[in-house]
Structure 1
Amino acid sequence: MTRFDASEPAERRKLYVDAITAHRQRGRGFLTFEVDERVFDADGGDDPLADSDGSEASVHVDPELGVPWIQFADGTINLDCTADELETLKSTVGEFPAFKIDEVNRPEEAAGTNARISAKADGNRIAQFIDAVFQRVYGLPESFRVWVVEI
């Protein structure tokens, strides 16, 4: 892999596929995607929270959970979310028949909920799902930047 971030929808999905392919070739640990934290910073010159149509996106970061991330390994997607985000995750998973929530953990010492989702699909379908989760579950605008932070 030669690039590790993307911000446009088609480029993000290509980045996800490339990272999944590289991860599978290396065959170890989790692959981690993380949202660029600047999407939550409303103090810049350009409005990072504006959607492509110019409207405000409803983006906020839970201070206890931090910046959204998604991990992938061995056909499993792993993420943390709030209770409200979990409900949106369930409806998003319902739109992707090859995906199923296998496990939901709510540790007492943690602020959120950890979900593990089986992903019995090819890299392209997994990429579509990951992008849908970032946008729908975490409420990110159409053009947000995501980083591959671990392969």
Structure 2
Amino acid sequence: MTRFDAADAEARLALFVDAIDAHEQRSSPFLTIEADAAAEADGAAGETDESGDGENDDPPWIQYADGTLNLDCTDAELDRLKSLLDEFPAFSIDDLHRPEEAEGTNVRLTARTDPERVAQFLDRAFREVYERPEEYRAWAAEV
């Protein structure tokens, strides 16, 4: 791979497909995609509360390995994820883990599809589940 970030929809899809291909070629343990932490819409994820302890201060991330996606969600994000899955029948929830020491849920999904469809899902998940603006910047943080 020669590029590691993209900020428009077409470039993000190409980045995601290339990152999945690079991950598979390298036989790396997993691929991590992150989205910028800053959200531009009022009330969107990434904003902090008045105390500065917003639940989504860290950039959202999704990991991919061997047809499995791994992500962390708040309760509201999990609801949005479940709605998004209605449009992606090749994706299913395998495991929901709610650690006592953390707020939110770790979700494992199985994706029985090709890298292009996984890329489409990744982009939609960042935009709809994590409420990123249309022109958010995504990073292939670990390949």
- TM-score, with structure 1 as normaliser: 0.85
TM superposition shift of 1:123: 0.6
**In the alignment, which of 69, 72, 84 is matched to residue 80 of structure 1?**
72
User: Which letter does structure 1 place at the counterpart of 2:108?
Assistant: R
TM superposition shift of 1:35: 1.1
User: Which letter does structure 1 place at the counterpart of 2:6?
Assistant: A
User: Which letter does structure 2 place at the counterpart of 1:18?
Assistant: D
SS in structure 2 of the partner of residue 126 of structure 1: helix
**CA distance in 2 between partners of 1:148 and 1:84 (Å):** 25
**CA distance in 2 between partners of 1:120 and 1:135 (Å):** 22
**CA distance in 2 between partners of 1:124 and 1:57 (Å):** 31
TM superposition shift of 1:106: 0.4
Could you say which residue in structure 1 is the equivalent of 2:21? 21
User: Which letter does structure 1 place at the counterpart of 2:119?
Assistant: A
Cα RMSD after superposing both structures: 1.4
- TM-score, with structure 2 as normaliser: 0.90
**Count of matched residue pairs:** 136
**CA distance in 2 between partners of 1:57 and 1:78 (Å):** 27
User: Which letter does structure 1 place at the counterpart of 2:120?
Assistant: Q
**CA distance in 2 between partners of 1:82 and 1:111 (Å):** 7
TM superposition shift of 1:64: 4.0
**CA distance in 2 between partners of 1:117 and 1:69 (Å):** 14
User: Which letter does structure 2 place at the counterpart of 1:60?
Assistant: A
* 1:55-82: CA deviation from partner (whole Å, max 9, x where unpaired): x464222734521000000100000010
